[in-house]
Amino acid sequence: MSLKVGDVITFERTFTVRDVELFTEVSCDEGSHHITPDEQGKLVIQGLLTATLPTKVGGDNNVLARTMNFEFLRPVFTEDTIRCEVTIEKFEKQDNNRTSIFASFLCTNQHEKQVLRGSFAGVIL
């Protein structure tokens, strides 16, 4: 993928109970709200699991992150479909044969409510 300033990369993911179970196992984030369903039978997704959405762009483009900023705006639950829009704000070649990148992102749920926003910066190796 060839990125440039102004590009907007959009994708969606629906979180499942299995996603929460796996993330709980790896992260050891075992808050009761992550392992005990609410009155509707849903679990609250770990914030950092939700934050994997914008990091997908980094993974897809071989970005070595230097900073990541997350603002968690509202909870995400199992069965929620989250749409993530990542906007490339800075993308420039450096003298050391690397490319610096800065991107902002906004994640919304299926009800068009904002759930997460922030930014990340790093270099492309």
* pTM of structure: 0.90
The CA angle 121-72-81, to the nearest 5 degrees, is 95
pLDDT at residue 31 in the model: 80
Top CATH class of 8-124 equals alpha beta
pLDDT at residue 20 in the model: 92
d(CA 91, CA 79): 35
99 - beta bridge partners?
93, 124
pLDDT at residue 28 in the model: 87
Low-confidence ranges of the chain (pLDDT < 50): none
Listed by start position, the domains of the chain span: 8-124
Distance of CA 20 to the CA centre of its chain: 15
d(CA 76, CA 84): 13
d(CA 50, CA 55): 10
d(CA 125, CA 99): 7
Instruction: Return mean pLDDT, the chain.
Output: 92
pLDDT at residue 61 in the model: 85
57 - beta bridge partners?
none
